[in-house]
Amino acid sequence: MNILTNPFENAHQSAPFSQIRNEYFIPAFDFAIEETKKEIDSIVNNQDQATFQNSIAALSFSGLTLERISNIFFNLQSAETNDEIDQIAQVVAPKLAALSNDITLNFELFKKIKAVYDQKNQLNLHTEELTLLTKYYKDFVRNGALLDETKKEELRKIDSELSTLKLTFGEHVLADNNAYQLHITDINDLSGLPEGTLEAAQELAKQEGKEGWIFTLDYPSYIPFVTYADNRDLRKELTLAAGRKAYQNNENNNEEIVLKIVNLRYERAQLLGYATHADFVLEERMAQSPTEVKSFLTNLLDKAKPAALNEFQELTEFAKHTDGLDQLEKWDASYYAEKLKQQKFNLDDEKLKPYFQLAHVLNGAFTIAHKLFGLNFKEVNHIDKYHPDIQTYEVWDTENQFIALFYADFFPRKGKRNGAWMTSFKSQYILNKVNDRPHVSIVCNFTPATASKPSLLTFNEVTTLFHEFGHALHGMLANTQYPTLSGTSVYWDFVELPSQIMENWCYEEEALKLFAKHYETGETIPMDYIKKIKESASFLEGMATLRQISFGLLDMAWHGQNPRDIQQIKPFEVEQFASTALYPDVLDNAMSPSFSHIFNGGYSSGYYSYKWAEVLDADAFEYFLEEGIFNPEVAKKFKDNILSKGGTVHPMKLYKAFRGKEPAVEPLLRRAGLLID
């Protein structure tokens, strides 16, 4: 039988990556889909009266084989894809969408759920059981259980089409990203670039069998180039190439796909009785409604815009004084921001990088997790990997109980999408009195080691690692009964709290001293540097806040109204960015065709949640600052009320149980330098 459909016999039932071949996936999916259907049928055909156990709990534990296969496959498609995997995804996605519809539109199954839901007050259910029951009832209603057969069929068609459109969107972005190279042969064009960046570009050129240096749109190559390259024309070329991803006259153009996706999402929402896709999504978010989101973003815009305009004016004057520039363009943003930061704080990322060796930073994250939550990370070599670069760890608690498997995938390569994310290969749940522990992964794109240097991180990459590690802690420390509510299965505008709060430790002397050590001398990062890191934390924060708000407003514009009259993407974007634009528009660039968060990821109508979660994390971290950043009581409250509870309780209740009150916006404004005490 297909190895993917057998119980995994590797250590901790980990995925047997080395034994998996691409041709196994479609048969495995077909098998697991049929198995899931049988599990659903057994619930529906049970002649006994519907109870919580034989209906709700049984539904939660159905499809576990399919979930594991899906986790393996789609994580590979993000981190280790190829044409064959992408083609398999196109075959599999409609099948999974159809199964999802088969379940949520199964009226006989819904009747079982409703029968239990209607008597919930008499069943003496504990909190997690009641949450699970309510979630299933609402999920079924929200996804068409009460529609007539004609409308159910319409919903099936929409969901099937959306599943393939989203996949195609992501494939196009990756294809355009991988197709571009900036090949430089004149050493004079490299002025300003850091030694490590040059070394990586030279190694890439060698791999391609070319002379000189190759730069790409992958972040470890792109970001240093636009930040440090003195050659303005080449900064422009690279910036424009990034802005043209999936927005150029080739087979990867996503304009039509964007319009199809937003219109299908709108049709779907209307079919289900909602005004817009945003109304549908936000019903199950802390923010509740498009009106609330727009009010939140507008309020932040009012606070941030004056500061952003002042910062932009300062940056403009600095560029004019430095190089005689009359007009700052988008390809000047990072370059002059870095130079101004160096002048104001005498703080250069290149000075900091020797203190942030990747191995040390990762161990620092582990040490902080130990001090806060009693976790111990043990690197092991007996866990199968999907690429040799992957590092694998067993995670244990102080009582030597196994907590999780942890995978770390840090370096860019062909077939791996840009950015950074946390994901899971296996959920946590308790079945037959056995607490099945999770398998969690973080995936990043950091500069790899070169012939002369280990992998060294910019400070921004340090915070990225801590951010994803915070998500990983949320997954690893999960301790719930049902997989449906486990780990990061929480409201989307709550899921960023564990990740964003972890970034705060990167700015604290007590934490930095644990891991910020020079890779050659072992010297701890100088106090002066720590002071400057803290002082510069709010540097150009008004502009950064405005940028995030602009993305949230664009997301809400696409999804918070009827999109049928939108004919062209570019004019629509210009209109949405009008209140937040600082730099002149670039005619042949657009954001939406490569805005993967909302068109390929899970953030449609939810991009605002990054800023929303910043309010939560700033308020939460003030509690740590008040009591001590390694205070065991505060850490235990955070672990017990936030990290371990998953989606078993409404997030505001969880937050208040931790903090003792609802979050206030003032800590965020204070941290960002937008509020003067």
- Catalytic positions are 468
Which three-class secondary structure state does DSSP give residue 188?
helix
Distance CA 605, CA 576 (A): 15
Which run of H or E residues covers position 372?
A: helix 358-373
441: buried, middle or exposed (CB in 10 Å: 19+, 13-18, 0-12)? buried
Cβ 442 vs Cβ 471: under 8 Å: yes
Which run of H or E residues covers position 375?
A: strand 375-379
Residue corresponding to tokens 């000075």: 351
Query: What angle do the packed helices 83-104 and 25-44 form, to 10 degrees?
Result: 10
User: How many CB atoms lie under 10 A from the CB of residue 276?
Assistant: 22
Which three-class secondary structure state does DSSP give residue 252?
coil
Cβ 441 vs Cβ 216: under 8 Å: no
Task: Say which amino acid occupies 342.
Answer: Q
Which run of H or E residues covers position 378?
A: strand 375-379
CA distances from 220 to 418, 446, 457, 616 (A): 9, 6, 10, 30
Cβ 254 vs Cβ 172: under 8 Å: yes
Distance CA 43, CA 25 (A): 27
Which of 129, 159, 119 lies closest to 60 in space, CA to CA? 129
